Amino acid sequence: MSGASEQSRWNDVLALASSEAGVLRHHLQSLVGPVGPAGLDDLVQETLLATFHAFARHGPEARTRQFLLGVATLIARQHRARRRRRGSLVDRLVAPFLARTTSAEVTGAAQELARLSEVLDGLADPLREAFVLVHVEQHTLAEAAGILGVPVSTLHHRATRAHALVRAALGDADALP
């Protein structure tokens, strides 16, 4: 591959990334949970590098927000797998906070958040991704299906199934949309 075409691909990646920076960061944060600013920057950079390599295999028609978010979804999935191998984020971050706090209200809210995080961590990646895209990021079914590269009917089934599982696990029908 010539240096000129690589430079052109980098320019395309950077143009797409700069126009979609906020959306990309929000999307990654929604899928992986709390990672901190440095961790989020690492995920964005990993996404941009993967997008650069993917552009070599796909034509110019792939250079869209949907394509970028699809790559970001794969990067988030890989990150979550690495995190599962390292141990539960909830145990490492929320449990010490719960042990230190004295406010019943803060403790209750933190416990609810920890429980939701545990429930979402327990979902298979395709269900979690569908839930986050549709119910957290509020993408339309068509947008979410495009991001994940699946038919709308498949995405609808996954989002509906995930929603039902989360509601059942939390035991509070009013807790979710």
Residues 82 and 133 both lie in one domain: no
Q: Is residue 117 part of a domain?
A: no
3-state class (DSSP) for residue 20:
coil
How many other β-carbons are positioned within 10 Å of the β-carbon of residue 27? 25
18, two tokens: 């700069």
Residue whose entry in the numeric block shows the structure tokens 């298979």: 124
Q: Which pLDDT value is given to residue 93? A: 46
Please identify, among 38, 71, 86, the residue that sits at the C-terminal boundary of a domain: 86
Query: Could you tell me the CATH number of the domain that includes residue 140?
Result: 1.10.10.10
Q: Is residue 104 part of a domain?
A: no
Q: Is residue 30 part of a domain?
A: yes
Q: Which pLDDT value is given to residue 44? A: 93
How many other β-carbons are positioned within 10 Å of the β-carbon of residue 49? 13
Q: Which pLDDT value is given to residue 89? A: 42
Mean pLDDT, each 10-residue run in order, the chain (177 residues): 76 88 91 85 92 85 87 92 62 55 63 79 89 87 90 94 91 57
Q: Which pLDDT value is given to residue 104? A: 63
Residues 14 and 74 both lie in one domain: yes
Residue 41 belongs to what domain range? Answer: 1-86
| Domain total of the chain | 2
Residues 82 and 1 both lie in one domain: yes
pTM confidence score: 0.61
Q: Which pLDDT value is given to residue 88? A: 52
User: Which of 30, 40, 19, 17 is CA-nearest to residue 139?
Assistant: 30
Please identify, among 86, 112, 132, the residue that sits at the C-terminal boundary of a domain: 86
Residues 65 and 140 both lie in one domain: no
